[in-house]
Amino acid sequence: MTVKHDTSQKGFDMMFMYLAAQVIFMHTLSANCHERIFVNEGFKLPIFLTLIEFTSHACVTGIKRVLHGSKLWGGFVPLHLTCALCMLGTHGSSNAALVHLNYTTNTLFKSSKVFFVMIGGWFVHGRRVSALQWVAAACLFTGLAVFGLADRLSSPRFTVAGVLLTLLSLLGGSYSGNLQQKAAQLSDGKTKTERKDDLLFWQYLFGAAFCLVLCAATGELPQGVEFLRTADSTQLLNIAGFLASGFAGINPLLLLVQEYDATSATVVTSVRKVVTFTSSFLFFPKPFTMLHALSAVLAMGGAYSLQKLRDATPHGVTLVGQHENGHGG
């Protein structure tokens, strides 16, 4: 039987705040670099960018495994393959959406991810979602949506294809977050760190392999190689910053999922979206209206309320006809 941590008393303890701060800083930096990559109108290679991302992460995690004395090819479980497919769909569709939407609009639609993750938690883990949790999540989404809309009005760019790709990324991300939690809490006699390292290595290795096939099939592989050959130092620095800061934010995010749950991690990343919006005003001065301020307060209040309500809700509740590992009986 899977042993799960009792997170009902953790709340906003120091560990949670420390991990949340790391996630917010690293993912905000990654988001800024990510946006700059697509500001270049000549860059329309989302699958190739995903290939670079997955390949670099697989190499780094593989090196870490060897340095820690683990077997490079050990620790694989079938669940890692499912996680890889979900991660590929999430990252690939998110990158592809940025070809059709501006970054703010893309982030605006992603603000609804907390809804999808709570649904995924109910489906995968059998967690009940209270009416108050839905209200708090609605406040969080509304605040983020209004904040993003206020920013988006200055640079509108909107296509149906971009919205559909963003929604696909949301669905994949919400499901993969709950799958990652299952993989991190397997009863296999390993430590948390070992399970986390296994998950990171295998999901990115398989994801890179699948992405390589997609790049070859779509013709993005030779175009991507040519782009890297002719890109200037600024473009390469943006890609390096996106990869490095994104990877640095993975470990604290996984620890949040492992020690708390996928919904808590999504609350943190949703708050990070507000920070990302705010940083764009600081680095690229533009009007900051009362609408921005009020929506930010609403989003922060919704995030805080959702976390507190989660703390008061028992976890690991198994639905009728559903085993503890999430598979139907």
For residue 162, the model assigns a pLDDT of 83
Share of the chain above pLDDT 90, in %: 26
Residues 6+ apart with CB under 8 A from 47: 92, 95, 96, 211, 214, 215, 218, 220
- DSSP annotation of 329 reads -
Q: What percent of the chain has pLDDT over 70?
A: 77
Residues 6+ apart with CB under 8 A from 244: none
| Backbone angle region of 313, left / alpha / beta, with phi > 0 → left and psi within -120 to 50 → alpha | beta
Contact (CB, 8 A) for 136 and 115: no
How far is Cα 238 from Cα 203, in angstroms, rounded to an integer? Answer: 24
d(CA 150, CA 291): 7
User: With 0-12 CB in 10 A as exposed, 13-18 as middle and 19+ as buried, what is 155?
Assistant: exposed
Q: Which residues of 103-139 are buried (b: 16+ CB within 10 A; e: fewer)?
A: bbbbbbbbbbbbbbbbbbbeebbbbebeeebeebbeb
Residue 54 has pLDDT above 90, yes or no: yes
Confidence of residue 292 (pLDDT cuts 50, 70, 90): confident
Grouping H, G, I as helix, E, B as strand and the rest as coil, residue 322 is strand
**Does the structure show a pLDDT above 90 at 280?**
no
- DSSP letter string over 146-212? HHHHHHHTTS----HHHHHHHHHHHHHHHHHHHHHHHHHT--SS--HHHHHHHHHHHHHHHHHHHHH
Q: State CA 53 to chain mean position distance.
A: 13
Res. 149: pLDDT tops 70: yes
Which pLDDT score is estimated for 316? 40
Kindly tell me the sign of the dihedral angle through the C-alpha atoms of 149, 101, 48, 218.
positive
Average pLDDT in the 195-214 region? 92
pLDDT at 320: 25
Rounded to 5°, the CA angle 172-175-178 comes to: 145
pLDDT at 313 over 60: no
Q: Which of 16-30, 57-71, 182-196 has the lowest mean pLDDT?
A: 182-196
Q: Which amino acid is residue 193, in one-letter code?
A: T
Classified as helix, coil or strand, 13 is coil
Residues constituting the chain: 329
Predicted pLDDT of residue 5: 46
Angle subtended at Cα 111 by Cα 162 and Cα 134, rounded to the nearest 5 degrees? 130
Q: What is the pLDDT of residues 73-102, one digit of tens each?
A: 888 988 999 999 999 999 999 999 988 877
Mean pLDDT estimate for the chain: 78
- Condensed to tens digits (0 to 9), the pLDDT of residues 245-259 reads 988 988 888 788 778
